Chain A
Amino acid sequence: GQQVMQIPQYQHVQEGEDFTTYCNSSTTLSNIQWYKQRPGGHPVFLIQLVKSGEVKKQKRLTFQFGEAKKNSSLHITATQTTDVGTYFCTGYQKVTFGTGTKLQVIP
């Protein structure tokens, strides 16, 4: 079945540093969605990527979809404490999420 793996599992960064998490699939994805879960909260939709090579930006967040539509990345520029949380990607077929990447920002 379709498997989406995310790395790293954990990341600690100093406030102001950049952060990147990667999502890799064993099969071609029709689209990919990214979600953020704040500590104690529930996952909330951030963005969806559909086209090969697509790049989308939301303020300091940059999302990319690979040319082969098998991988994706989320890059945060100059992290802030409000970025703390767990970031999940999901390839669409079975809507599975996995462990995500837990981001800790040190003030």
Chain B
Amino acid sequence: DAGVIQSPRHEVTEMGQEVTLRCKPISGHNSLFWYRQTMMRGLELLIYFNNNVPIDDSGMPEDRFSAKMPNASFSTLKIQPSEPRDSAVYFCASKIDSSGNTIYFGEGSWLTVV
């Protein structure tokens, strides 16, 4: 079975450019999460969706970040304009939304903004 699929796996971009990260959750999972991981701040929850609806976006750092989930099998995290401090690993994860279900992570998108 395919796990959570993220793309791109690695991206290097110049400051000011738009970055779009993509995620395909596991089929049948109705909760989707975007995380950002850095050495300093650890694994931060940015936003999560339930049944394609954003439930909590309080972790989104600022207006430059936006996330969408147009359907049950696809989500995007967009950064516009990107800044060097956005350099991090971005993980997408999904689960079936009921108490106690395991969260499955994608392999991450390694973003470097120069």
Contacts and interface: CB of A to CB of B under 8 A. Distances in A.
Interface of A: 30-31, 33, 35, 41-45, 48, 50, 88, 90, 92, 94-100
Contacts, number: 48
Contacts of A100: 42-43
Nearest to B35: A97
Interface of chain B, helix or strand or loop or mixed?
strand
Interface residues of B, number: 20
Contact of A31 (B41, B42, B100, B104): B100
A95 B33 CA distance: 9
Contact of A99 (B41, B56, B104, B107): B41
Interface of B: 33, 35, 41-45, 48, 56, 91, 93, 99-100, 102-108
Question: 7 nearest interchain CB pairs?
Answer: A99-B42, A97-B43, A42-B105, A45-B102, A96-B45, A98-B42, A43-B105
Interface SS, A side: loop
